[in-house]
Structure 1
Amino acid sequence: MELAELGRRVHATAHLTGEFLLRSGQTTTEYFDKYRFEADPVLLDEVTAAMVPLIPEGTEVLAGLEMGGIPVVTALGRHTGLPCAFVRKEAKPYGTCRLAEGAETKGRRVTIVEDVVTTGGQIVLSTNELRALGATITDALCVINRNATTPDPLTEAGLTLHALLTPEHLIPRT
């Protein structure tokens, strides 16, 4: 499917207007409710199929961030055969007490997977924690980058962002 058409479909499915507070603390009048496209199995499959060529060569593990990155990374893993890790916002204090569940990240080249990026704050936090646990991380992959360019916090953290869709793709159907 053509990227412009995919962007229109994601926009039609997930775009909301109103007043919304983002995780970054910013407020916006436009919001992409990622759960709407993530809950549509056909659309999620098409989105993740289009993301496969964006995965950096040498990636050994795809690491999806809680919570929206989990369905994306799971579907992406199905398309690539790459193992997946599910990264919590903080390690749970019981059971395995792990920050990342699923595939082992220590000593492996990991690509972070997120759904929607505004400032990249959670990507930076999770990347720093996974790096401290021995993962090698230089890249992040997202469905939607709300910005025309990579947010500064990601660049400052030494990350390259690979976005499937940017504002230019998210144009309503006419």
Structure 2
Amino acid sequence: MPTDIRELTVLIDSTCRIRGEFTLRSGRITNEYFDKYRFEGDPRLLRRVAEHMVPLLPSDTQVLGGLELGGVPIATMVSALTGLPAIFVRKEAKTYGTCRLAEGGDFADRTVTLVEDIITTGGAARNAAVALRELGATVHSVVCAIDRSEPGANTLHELGLGTVSVMTKADLDEVQR
């Protein structure tokens, strides 16, 4: 792992890995929790993550698609660094106002790169890609801060989506040693 990524991984891990008793979405109890919003709410860490995401963007990216909720601050920072416009993709379309799935500028007939904070199974990215494609966007890539997926759990490739990440769960676990 390059030194700058290792340093960032150490910072992210020490900021986000918290100890205590936590109930996970699955209902399982754990004594360790990874609070990703701690790095997303820290402007210095958020910027460092975004700076490492910029070179991972496919060259044909025309629009950044920040996924609700964690991908939104990252996409905003990457947009500020690159000048690329960003849209903010909801888990489902609003039922009021504009009733839109994605807020921001136009994305139909444009190549959207999805921006996510953490990928575990890829479900949110999968749903967003399908929905944006139905609305006329070209979506072939997901860039994430942390890939936590277990082997075989991330099936985004089945939709023709490539996934790249700044760091992985294994990287985070390695710096714990």
TM-score by length of structure 1 reads: 0.90
Between the aligned residues of both structures, percent identity stands at 46
Per-residue Cα deviation, 1:22-74 (whole angstroms, up to 9, x for no partner): 4xx48584532111000100111111011110001110000001111110100
1:129 is matched with 131
Change in Cα spacing, 1:103 to 1:26, as seen in structure 2 (3 Å) is: farther
Question: Deviation at 1:16?
Answer: 2.7
Paired with 1:28 and 1:111, the residues of 2 have a C-alpha distance of: 35
1:95 is matched with 97
Unmatched tracts of structure 2, length 5 or more: none
1:45 is matched with 47
Contact 1:148 1:166 in 2 (8 A): no
Matching residue's letter, 2:50: T
Change in Cα spacing, 1:26 to 1:60, as seen in structure 2 (3 Å) is: farther
Contact 2:47 2:77 in 1 (8 A): yes
Partner residue of 2:111 out of 95, 109, 115: 109
1:36 is matched with 38
Paired with 1:163 and 1:77, the residues of 2 have a C-alpha distance of: 17
Contact 2:50 2:74 in 1 (8 A): yes
Contact 1:3 1:169 in 2 (8 A): no
How many corresponding residue pairs?
A: 172
Unmatched tracts of structure 1, length 5 or more: none
2:62 is matched with 60
RMSD across aligned positions (CA): 2.0
